[in-house]
Amino acid sequence: MGAFKKRVSDHIAWLELDVAGEPVNKITRDVRAELKELLESLCTDEEVQAAILISRKADQFMAGADVEEFAMLKTRTQALKLVRDGQALVNRFATIGKPIVAAIHGPCIGGGLEAALACTYRIATDSPKTILRLPEVRLGIIPAAGGCQRLPRLIGIRNALDMILTGRSNTSRKAVRVGLVDELVHPAILDAVALKAARQLATGWRPKRPRKALDRLARKALVARARKLVLAKTGENYPAPLAALDAVSHGLQYGLDAGLEHEAAHFSELAIGTVSKNLVRLFFAGTALKKAYSLPVGAAPPRSISNVAIVGSGFMGSAIAGVAAARTCADVRLRDKDIDRVVKGLAGARGVVRDLKCKGRIDEYQMRRLEALLSGGIDWAGFGRADLVIEAAPEELDLKCDVVAEVEQQISSDCIIASNTSTIPITQIAASARAPQRVLGMHFLSPVAKMPLLEVVAHSGTAPEVLASAVTFGRAMKKTVIVVKDSAGFWVNRLLAPYLHEAWTMLEEGVDAELLDSELTEFGFPVGPITLLDEVGLDVVRQSFVALLQVFGDRLEPKEGLEQMVNEGRLGRKTRSGLFSYRRGKKRRFDASVYDMLGAAPAAPTTEKALSTRLFYLVLNEAARALGEGVVQCPRDGDVGAIFGMGFPPYTGGPLRYIDEMGATNVVATLEELKERHGNRFAPAPALQHMAERKDRYYEQDH
């Protein structure tokens, strides 16, 4: 069965897309061949005066190319042929000699948007499900079917670069404001309005659009500024944004055809490069983690979760409540002992919902409906009907055990209890429960609305269906979920602790804090380690170090200076006093008095990247050690967890993938050198040494 159905009525051809067996209309090789044949038939069909491109798949317009196709590319010649074929197909929309209306409802992404750009007229529905996006840079490539050429000509170079260089989505409302879409309609009348537009276009009418071109000097200045911003944000770790910028600039200066040549040349280089390969692997890993969780044979199916109760309405509890309501439409009840904290928590949870409205993802009615799902109080009302209770109390074992004991007196026998602990083993928390089989961990990363990762932690007695239910609900919250072993720190904090501990050690040595931050951000971390200490909160960091002593021993020795700063109330950004000075809540500069407090003398200058090497290789070593202990189920989960949970640079593919690329032997050699200079905490993990001896890899070679 074909992907397209063509029907002609009153001289208007309807090109109806529905790729069978796929959740989205992705553009595979077969779909491209069918579409090419269809466009050629339109060109020669004298009965047809105009056409309408529309999807018949529910809430989906058209996605981009099949990622699996370019993931298999091995040579520049293969990549060049693929992109040339794609360009020729999209160009045909613009050259068949008959107007085409793109009637868009649902996501219009990548090659789907490039096809729409080549159409004569674009109509989009006002549904929040309708988004327009060119996400290619996030896969390490560029829009290369004309996106870097047609988009700036249509909406102006400034708006186009904002979409192309970031991969950011535009709502249909914003799209019509910037001129990307000609008309905005309700989904119920999309067909009727598209037909009216096609008939009007068939008479020779064309929409008048304002010119978006800038003069040569203004364009040159804007491109130079954009290049500076790209380099400041990502350096040269990600070549795709710089290549896209070049393709846009070249096309505007020398014309559409020359721009397409540049697009093809850049794509053919990027698609076979290491960065793109790693980002594509990450894409596939994330996709795999969204699939149904496998249950043991004979286990009960996951439980349906529509009522959630949360104990603790502080920063984490309120954020979890807001995300749960906004993304799953579950009824959410917040509970705390103090009514003022409940009120503040509900305000925070509603803020998560209202943020969606501000971004155009939901309308006013939907916002009110989601806000109505949130309630709270100081009693246990609503807990009796809860399917899931999430404990979000402070990180103290006795307190969490007391909360679990109280919760069990209020809930039904099949309700699940999840702890949001970040470091305490779930076994210790479950030990206080009457029914430990329904207790597990759901470790949300902060800030909950932005951080994509969720660690789900089962102890040895957790029932399989309880684990599957938590994973399923986490995915419903739009989280990337990894299942981790019950051990102190789980996966993310297991890697983050030595990283932050070593950063503090370097402060004690008098290392230039801002230089250290700069090196790590240049390498690809979203923020430097010193800034991260302040962002997390020094009290939280200290608490984490104490909790992880049982795992790390003398590799995570106590820090007196950290203890002193916490005792003085210098906790970081939240108290506007920590390692940095702050003005109006914004970080200004590193506070040099910290060195005096630590008794540190300025360290001698080091060779370039020597500082980042210490921190980076500690993470590699700890990842190998933790995987060897079975903290994550496979290298894929470990790499996804490191990237989505602690900001490990995505272009590397993750710490375990990076070990493969560097070679375990080379990583061990570097760690041995660091051990000689800085101490036994850099001693290569046994699992890593074993890999080096056997010349093993975590991943099979790509075929």
The answer to whether the beta carbons of residues 280 and 67 sit under 8 Å apart is: yes
Q: Who wins on pLDDT, 416 or 70?
A: 416
The answer to whether the beta carbons of residues 170 and 128 sit under 8 Å apart is: no
**What is the pairing mode between strands 416-419 and 439-444?**
parallel
Q: How confident is the model at residue 554 (pLDDT cuts 50, 70, 90)?
A: confident
Report d(CA 662, CA 664) in Å as an integer. 7
Q: Is residue 396 pLDDT above 50, yes or no?
A: yes
In this predicted model, what pLDDT tens digit does every residue of 5-27 receive, in sequence order? 999 999 999 999 999 988 899 99
Residue for token digits 């957790």? 462
Give the model's pLDDT for residue 212: 67
The answer to whether the beta carbons of residues 238 and 278 sit under 8 Å apart is: no
Report d(CA 594, CA 484) in Å as an integer. 37
Neighbours of 257 (CB within 10 A): 11
Burial class of 642 by CB neighbour count within 10 A (0 to 12, 13 to 18, 19+): buried
Mean pLDDT confidence for 294-323: 92
Indicate the length of the chain as a whole number: 703
Q: Is residue 684 pLDDT above 90, yes or no?
A: yes
Residue for token digits 């868009």? 104
Q: How confident is the model at residue 583 (pLDDT cuts 50, 70, 90)?
A: confident
Mean pLDDT confidence for 479-502: 95
Strand ranges (DSSP E) for 584-694? 586-590
In this predicted model, what pLDDT tens digit does every residue of 189-241 receive, in sequence order? 999 999 999 999 999 999 988 876 666 778 888 999 999 999 988 888 999 99
In this predicted model, what pLDDT tens digit does every residue of 626-660 receive, in sequence order? 999 999 999 999 999 999 999 999 999 999 999 99
Give the model's pLDDT for residue 209: 86
What distance, in Å, lies between the first and last C-alpha atoms of the chain? 31
> Is 455 a known active-site residue?
yes
Mean pLDDT confidence for 665-694: 96
Q: How confident is the model at residue 293 (pLDDT cuts 50, 70, 90)?
A: confident
For the ranges 199-203, 363-367, 437-441, the lowest mean pLDDT is seen at: 363-367
CATH topology of domain 493-694: N-(1-d-carboxylethyl)-l-norvaline Dehydrogenase; domain 2 (1.10.1040)
Domain 307-486 has CATH 3.40.50.1000: no
**What is the pairing mode between strands 480-485 and 453-458?**
parallel
Strand ranges (DSSP E) for 516-579? none
Give the model's pLDDT for residue 103: 98
Q: Which of 136, 455, 465, 622 is catalytic?
A: 455
Q: Is residue 373 pLDDT above 90, yes or no?
A: yes
The token pair that represents 690 in the structure block? 């074993």
In this predicted model, what pLDDT tens digit does every residue of 26-40 receive, in sequence order? 999 999 999 999 999
Q: Is residue 1 pLDDT above 60, yes or no?
A: no
Q: How confident is the model at residue 342 (pLDDT cuts 50, 70, 90)?
A: very high
Q: Is residue 606 pLDDT above 90, yes or no?
A: no
Give the CATH number of domain 4-278: 3.90.226.10
Instruction: Calculate the CA 252 to chain-centre distance.
Output: 32
Where are the domains positioned within the chain?
4-278, 307-486, 493-694
In this predicted model, what pLDDT tens digit does every residue of 452-486 receive, in sequence order? 999 999 999 999 999 999 999 999 999 999 999 99
Report d(CA 245, CA 25) in Å as an integer. 28
Q: How confident is the model at residue 558 (pLDDT cuts 50, 70, 90)?
A: confident
The token pair that represents 87 in the structure block? 């360009």
Identity of the amino acid at 618 = L
Neighbours of 481 (CB within 10 A): 24
Q: Is residue 519 pLDDT above 70, yes or no?
A: yes
Proportion of the chain above pLDDT 70, given as a percent = 99
Give the Å distances, CA to CA, from 522 to 99, 235, 519: 48, 6, 5
Give the model's pLDDT for residue 336: 96
Give the model's pLDDT for residue 702: 60
Q: Is residue 585 pLDDT above 80, yes or no?
A: no
Same fold, 4-278 and 307-486: no
- Omega prior to 447 cis, within 30 of 0: yes
The answer to whether the beta carbons of residues 322 and 374 sit under 8 Å apart is: yes
Give the model's pLDDT for residue 703: 42
Residue for token digits 């609305």? 449
Mean pLDDT confidence for 123-127: 96
Q: Helices marked H in 579-634 — which ranges?
A: 593-598, 610-628
The DSSP 8-state label assigned to residue 432 in this structure reads: T
